[in-house]
Amino acid sequence: MRDRIIMHIDMNAFYASVAQHLDPSLRGKAVAVAGDPKKRNGIILAKSREAKAAGVKTAEAIWQARQKCPDLIVVPPNYTAYKRYSKLARMIYYDYTDRVEPFGLDESWIDVTGSLPLFGGDAMLVAKEISERVKSELGLTVSVGVSWNKVFAKLGSDTDPGDGIIAITRDNYRAFAWPMAASEMIYVGPATMRKLHSAGYETIGDLAHAEDYFLTKRFGKIGPMLRAFARGEDTSPVKVMDPAKADVDYVVKGIGNGLTAPHDLECESDVKALVWLLSESVAQRLRESRLRCRTISVGARWARDLTGYSRQTTVRVPTCLTKDVANFAMGLLRANQTFDKDHALRAIHVRVTNLVPMDAPVQCDLFGDAAEVVRMERLDLAIDALRVRFGNTCVKRAVELTDDVMSGLDIKRDNTVHPIGFLR
């Protein structure tokens, strides 16, 4: 059986590159995309090549970045634009295959095994053509990795931070990939790397030759999986993408939203306002996915030392109602939190898991009001429809208006889109 031909395409310095393309005056300059210091999320989210060359790093504070690069131009994030450019890039990929799997907004795997003969049969020429099309049609550059599996394809694109094309083949992977640090491979994070280092495993090649006993004892079932990755034995497929949805058909395991508050939350009314805003976003996305949840969790971080906690509860009847998500989240906080200045909160997140389809049969609560639940669900869906037409702030609950600063937030619209997990 012939090997698969998989490419991993990564749009370089994506957020900053989009900003430079939208505003040509920024081209060739040190640009950073950052949060708003007034909202206490003023950190570097992305930087241009010029800013990177000056030493600017992702996740550092704006003031730290400006110490390294006094001429740094800081622009706010524009997630609407990022989504648009991401979709346009994927439309290009569709021209070569229907097997397109996103990994966040700026990365995608594509499988051209079956379609390659239609484009001349040379994978490197197809990769170059895709690269040139993204550059000419979108004004962005991409790095492309080509291999017979997804892990090595991503390793190839990660190796070249510019707009190059790297092929990792069965002939060269031992010489190319195995000498690299194990931390360069997907799913080998700092904690995993520390465990490997403590046992004398430093490179991808070391991991490829690790013993079963060590891997299972230190990492459990993920250990042998990482060794298989290092050996090029990843067989996970590139999932078929639905162009109409601009997304892959994957199983949603949880939906969450978190926010660093614009000011410390010192009283219950402030906490409640943010919890309801977050719950609105989470429940609306839950209904959009045609799902209900069985588990609701809330996390909080104290302002005094940035430590925190998380708690969860399981509901008797699956729900997608905003009021249920908010009320259960607030109940968890009330049971674990003192609302005063000494215990002020800096950040809160709300998350729902243990999801079931909305069309799945539901055992009603013997002591509940099933008709009222149906009525509230229809009301929430009607409000969702209004928000789709007129924006997420067209309908607000009174509880969300108790804080003048937070009432102006559109958490769902401005929610950062995080990469989709490789393992699902």
What are the residue numbers of the active site? 107
Residue 106 counted as an annotated binding residue: yes
Under DSSP, the state recorded for 97 is: -
Whole-angstrom distance, CA of residue 289 vs CA of residue 278: 17
Residue 10 counted as an annotated binding residue: yes
Tokens representing 206? 């070391």
Distances (CA, A) of 47 to 57, 119, 169, 382: 7, 35, 32, 40
> What is the DSSP annotation of 47-75?
E-HHHHHTT--TTSBHHHHHHH-TT-EEE
Residue among 93, 109, 104, 185 at smallest CA distance from 145: 109
- 243 contacts 91 by C-beta, under 8 angstroms: yes
Q: Tell me the longest C-alpha to C-alpha distance in the chain.
A: 68
Tokens representing 339? 């609302």
> What is the DSSP annotation of 164-199?
-EEE--TTTHHHHTTTSBGGGSTT--HHHHHHHHHT
Residue among 33, 10, 38, 7 at smallest CA distance from 22: 33
> What is the DSSP annotation of 221-253?
THHHHHHHHHTT---PPPPPEETTTTEE-----
Under DSSP, the state recorded for 203 is: B
Whole-angstrom distance, CA of residue 375 vs CA of residue 357: 18
Exposed e or buried b for every residue in 33-67, given b needs 16+ CB within 10 A?
A: bbbeeeebbebbbbbbbbbbebebeeebebeebee
| Residue located via tokens 């690790």 | 210
| Residue located via tokens 């908010």 | 326
- 353 contacts 253 by C-beta, under 8 angstroms: yes
- 300 contacts 366 by C-beta, under 8 angstroms: no
Q: Is 306 helix (H, G, I), strand (E, B) or coil?
A: coil
| Residue located via tokens 């079956």 | 114
Cα Rg of the chain (Å, integer): 24
Which residues define the annotated binding site?
A: 10, 106
Which residues define the annotated binding site for Mg(2+)?
A: 10, 106
